[in-house]
Amino acid sequence: MLPGGCTKGELTLVGQQQALDLGAWLRRRYVQQLCFLPPRSAAGAVSGRTTNYRSVAVVHCCCVPMWSAAVCLLVFAVPLQACVQAL
């Protein structure tokens, strides 16, 4: 275990929290204020593209507060328990 609560190549706990906070901000901005995105999303309606595990972790943690953990778990192949439990 490295400082930050992770192993080599993983997103730190601080990084996970920052991504969750970013997802919450994105929801307020684009779902609630601008009505640019729908308040609910079905599985398959959201997709992300990334290059490595840490990037997948960031995208997943941003997705969870925007819609729901269930939608994000179906979209991303790498479930992150810390992100889901943070809700």
4 assigned to some structural domain: no
Structural domain including 78 reads 13-85
Is the distance from CB of 27 to CB of 66 less than 8 angstroms?
A: yes
Count how many domains the chain has. 1
75 assigned to some structural domain: yes
64 has a pLDDT exceeding 60: yes
Of all residues in the chain, what percent carry a pLDDT higher than 70?
Answer: 64
DSSP secondary structure string for all residues of 27-79: IIIIIIIS--S-SS--TTS-----SSHHHHHHHHHHHHHHS-HHHHHHH-SS-
Average pLDDT of the segment spanning 37-55: 72
* Angstrom distance (rounded) from CA 64 to CA 68: 5
